[in-house]
Chain A
């Protein structure tokens, strides 16, 4: 009897399988949580459910055909994926991109950043239970998608860049629409702030949740807003300028505490900075060609390079090796920011509650299409 009652007071570990079909794992992420009550003791992150082998596929495609494969990685930020790939190949081929094309690329990339952050804000807020923000954010994202549709005809997977420049010039009147959008977005960011920034519940749900120090975040390879949220000054746009970023003024917001709330503030500030960049780019848009001098048959010289850009999620790097003989890359490797950020989930989550798990998945802003590729 004594042993029995002792056994009855043992606490069992509850293994909870979260996903891959779960409303807030942002796709097909699966978490195997080991719970003590509702507190997470350990988590095993399982992924690969949408692994399509984009790297392998790309090694068997033309250099140009790969652009449309990159659309499918981070499908909420297709333009930055295009940009990163095209920049890398241009670096490998040492192609000069005309200034106008670089400006337009910057505008597209920053619009894309706003769109991606809108989606992040909506889903993150939704995970924490603020469902109205979700629809507000999607309302603004819709405006950007309209702009993209007008530019290249597609709303999600744009295929909007080419190696050496751009396939299309801006439609007439597009810049005015972008300016109008910037004005709208300015006021909408205020609206998001009103709804969330000083909301007591929002503060309680995000402050002090998922704290990670700057050195830890660096060591873990976090990138983008999660890294900057811990106060590490790292923004590829500033550190290794690409496209036309060295010609614009913008600030890199940094966090101080490294918690979910700081990462939220940073992304909200990035809305404003993106708008600032877009305004400068639209105002200073130079005339000129949109396509550089690129041979018709792309066949870079044998060699390898790694090039990174700042995608909305963080450092999006491409490692590309050309063998100099075939018309496809010999090795095509993507350094997916979501993948590296997702690696930070385990240390962030341990010790928190189940309800925080969804908040932390949200704060890392992972897109499973990019994690799995």
Chain B
């Protein structure tokens, strides 16, 4: 169990559905690759493949709106403190239906996280949730989202980090141990390139799973594209794992 594969490599696990051989690792995050931007490409009228997807969504959203806060809204003290302490780290601030979100670059994530945890005004001691969302047409397709809460001060904030497919996102497990499994799950589902995580293994999916199910270009139905491609190979791998797992 413990000494199973070290699945840190998310490139190998790219879903290759419907015979689209375009490999995203050739031009990682430089431009929307054919595979990841297929719905967008189909909508634009270009026809990269002779076999178009039968059920392509009409139009894929380009990304979250992340609306800026209205000007007359007073910013909470912890945001002001954050902007004062780390002015370069805050890319943008967003406000929607009562939720504050700060968007920070991945490089500044750890600094922001530590500041928010340790600062007296902010004191976000509780990491509610770590998750991600996938916006394939965008260059930096992933939004990595940290929902924080301060038990002491009773307020919430979300940190959002935009990351490309191979762009490293530092793990915040050192800041909030709670993020350990949540990040594992996020990695399991999205394949965000997490760095510095102490125990990066699949958590919900089987250890030998190929692909990252929560990505938008991952098919909803079917037992996984790997099984579709070569069922016997899948069966063989599966049996092999079952045997080695028996310690």
Chain A residues near B134: list those with CB within 8 A. Answer: 331
Question: Which residues from chain B contact A55 at a C-beta distance below 8 Å?
Answer: 189, 214
Choose among A221, A232, A319 the residue with the greatest number of B CB atoms under 10 Å from its CB: A221
Residues in B119-168 with C-beta less than 8 Å from chain A: 125-129, 131, 133-134, 145, 147, 151, 154, 156, 158
- Is A339 an interface position by the 8 A CB rule? yes
Contact call B178/A343, Cβ cutoff below 8 A: yes
Q: Decide: B61 and A325 in contact? CB cutoff 8 A.
A: yes
- The interface residues of chain B lying within 8 Å CB-to-CB of A46 are 1
Q: Indicate whether B113 reaches chain A with its CB closer than 8 angstroms.
A: no
Q: Mark B208-247, 1 if CB is under 8 A from A, else 0.
A: 0000011000101000000000000000000000000001
| 8 Å CB contact of B129 from A44, A239, A306 | A306
A239:B154 contact, CB within 8 angstroms: yes
Enumerate B23-71 residues with CB–CB distance to A below 8 Å.
Answer: 57-59, 61, 64-65, 67
Q: Is there an interface contact between A302 and B61, defined as CB atoms closer than 8 Å?
A: yes
Question: Is B145's CB under 8 angstroms from A319's CB?
Answer: yes
Please name the residue on chain A nearest to B129 by beta carbon.
Answer: A335
A365 interface hit (Cβ, 8 Å): no
Residues in B with CB closer than 8 Å to A325 are: 58-59, 61
- Shortest beta-carbon contacts, A-B, top 9: A221-B178, A323-B61, A331-B133, A48-B204, A335-B129, A303-B96, A51-B204, A333-B131, A302-B65
Task: State whether A306 touches B128 (Cβ < 8 A).
Answer: yes
Contact B213 A53 (CB under 8 A): yes
Q: A305-B97, A326-B57, A335-B147 are in contact. List 5 more A-B contacts (CB 8 A).
A: A60-B220, A240-B156, A315-B128, A343-B178, A373-B204
Q: In angstroms, how far is the closest chain A Cβ from the Cβ of B68?
A: 12
Contacting residues, chain B, for A218 (C-beta < 8 A): 125-126, 151
Q: Determine how close the nearest CB of chain A comes to the CB of B240; give it in whole angstroms.
A: 17
Tell me which residues across on chain A come within 8 A of B57, comparing CB atoms.
326
**A305 touching B96 in the complex, CB below 8 Å, given contacts A53-B213, A219-B125, A339-B181:** yes
Find A335's partner among B128, B151, B177, B205 (CB 8 Å cutoff).
Answer: B128
Q: B125 contacts which chain A residues (CB < 8 A)?
A: 215, 218-219
- Give the residues in chain B near A308, CB-CB below 8 Å: 128
14 A–B contacts from the bound complex (CB under 8 Å)? A48-B204, A56-B220, A218-B125, A218-B151, A219-B177, A221-B176, A221-B182, A305-B96, A305-B97, A305-B99, A321-B133, A330-B133, A333-B129, A339-B185
A303-B67, A304-B99, A317-B147 known; A219 vs B178 contact (CB < 8 Å): yes
Chain A residues with CB under 8 A of B202: 48
Is B193 in contact with chain A by the CB < 8 A criterion? no
Do residues A220 and B133 form an inter-chain contact, with CB atoms below 8 A?
no
A135 to B206, CA, bound (A): 36
B83 at interface, CB cutoff 8 A: no
B215 → chain A closest CB, angstroms: 10
A192 at the interface (CB under 8 A from B): no
Q: Is A291 an interface residue (CB 8 A)?
A: no
Q: Judging by beta carbons under 8 Å apart, are A306 and B204 in contact?
A: no
Does A39 count as interface, using CB distance less than 8 angstroms?
no
> Which single residue of chain A is at the shortest CB-CB distance from B219?
A56
On whether the beta carbons of B97 and A92 are closer than 8 Å, the reply is yes
**Chain B residue with the shortest CB-CB distance to A30:** B1
Instruction: Note all chain A residues with C-beta closer than 8 A to B58.
Output: 325
Which residue of chain A is the closest to B67 with respect to CB atoms? A303
- The proximity string for B residues 83-96 relative to A, scoring 1 for CB distances below 8 Å and 0 otherwise, is 00000000000001
**Known contacts A319-B129, A331-B133: does B177 contact A48 (CB below 8 Å)?**
no
Selected contact of A340 from candidates B61, B158, B181, B206, CB within 8 Å: B181
Interface contact B64-A44, CB-CB below 8 Å: no
**Once bound together, how far apart are the Cα atoms of A356 and B204, in whole Å?**
25
Closest CB in chain A relative to B159 CB, distance in Å: 12
Q: Is B77's beta carbon under 8 Å from chain A?
A: no
A234 at the interface (CB under 8 A from B): yes
Contacting residues of chain A (1-47) with chain B, CB-CB under 8 angstroms: 15, 17, 32, 44, 46-47
Q: What is the bound-complex CA distance between A340 and B127, given in angstroms? A: 10
| Those of A57-84 within 8 Å (CB) of chain B | 57, 60
Report the separation of the CA atoms of residues A47 and B59 in the bound assembly, to the nearest whole angstrom: 36
Choose from A56, A60, A306, A331 the contact partner of B156 (Cβ within 8 Å). A306
